[in-house]
Chains A and B, each alone.
Chain A
């Protein structure tokens, strides 16, 4: 079994507001996340202590026409001449950047490293964002076939539904749960329950004096093709995470220096990462092999079973992705994951709370930042600092699951109270 060569802890964490910010470039977004991080370090942080930056970013090249982002961001947060490394594994870029930081600290090369992620996506029109995201699949064999990113996960949803008898409407339970959580997160892009979104649409229609939609409840709202149009059937708008600008950062340090910064560090107990072929190279569409493999590595390193995990942030880029995730992570048996949100088992008061932050769905999905933002949420839950969405009782073990592309990359981290 693989172990880290020495103990690694998190001693600071920050996330910027997620949303659409036409007046901010990715470097500005990252500065905001680092600001919250610095304020979170109990005994204060001298930025001069930071020895390197690992920055998750999927495609500033396509989204902002800016390559070579890491040194620019390093300059903006005052880190030059320290080493600055950009890490790209599609939507798993953030989680993999964290893992690279953990590995670098465990190796003994550095004691104090900044791991972060950033993406600025809203400057492009939707079609161009669709093109950019689709390049996370296979540009030679999947893009010409007409597959978009929602299309890939839609194909997984049809395969899953056919195999396990899931009604598509069950997926809306994932969206409703994550919006319920997002409503309690002031950093979320959509900090509103679906009921609140409904009410706002009704109020707007009244204001305009036009016909006022008469939805009975959330169910009816989500069935209305005008309110919830198909993006890639069977996935509709409310099955998809939004296009988001945002950034997140965590401070990764060697265990032996952690007490310099805090008495309440968060320990990195396990890390795992795996890769897989594009869809045409798989054996099934109803589970991500890379997720199962990365989870197995992380559980083995941490020496814990899935049943011990108290809270998880999983990669819900689409509602079906959360269903696959809770199965691939061993929280629910294959074929049962679709019932989890429906039965309340993944709600904040359920057996295994999933995506207390609102998830990618409600919090937003700035792709390169998402994997780091998940860990920021877990840091807050483990330290009892998650505010109105803080889980009651003992929160001692947490898991982050971050997927790149259609599951060609997956990275899993297990964190514990230090």
Chain B
């Protein structure tokens, strides 16, 4: 489960293909790929288009396939709704805390398992590995009961606590730390650095690829989750964006432009993150499963 790092060989290959691209002749594969890529793109293009249509254009039959003019009524409706910005903030809080705490606790746990000797570490590691195989559906009902005992139901705490640290973060970071050369740490250690200092000054700066993998996958899963917020939250003040969107759609079936505007706002942060860090994204997705 080590993170993939671009090797010089791969970099060289990428370089060759970049230079070679201009000379590539037209390939018959375009006849297959272009329509296919279009099929994948159209729903998202339609999402964007319909969010700027007027309700009149959407509600007539057959509905318009292209907006006659950009109508921001849907966005105005959604953003004027006092709850929607609140849901956005809730999602942002939950995801940010989850990312930060997974990085921190994942690094602590991963480092202890990779480099320290303590009694029971082997069996603890195996136990944690085993928990990754437990389906969420098995634990969701009792987790609800645990959160209820803690008095967290209907607060953002109920969303934050279960996502504080995942076994995945601990294991991914442990695997990555194991692949780092020990000598660097030992040098710092002999110079009198504490474990904490070694971790923060030597190990973590070398672990950028693994840390970004954990960050991306944690953000993706917390931002996109609906199941758990649906169970843990009742009051619409505490909704996340996904939960808000799901109920918003049910209540405003005829206001499709507004629903689609809300949808755009829900999808946009993830899409922007993807466009901004495409390479890291793809690497994190592949490294999450490969080389396990």
Partners in one complex: no
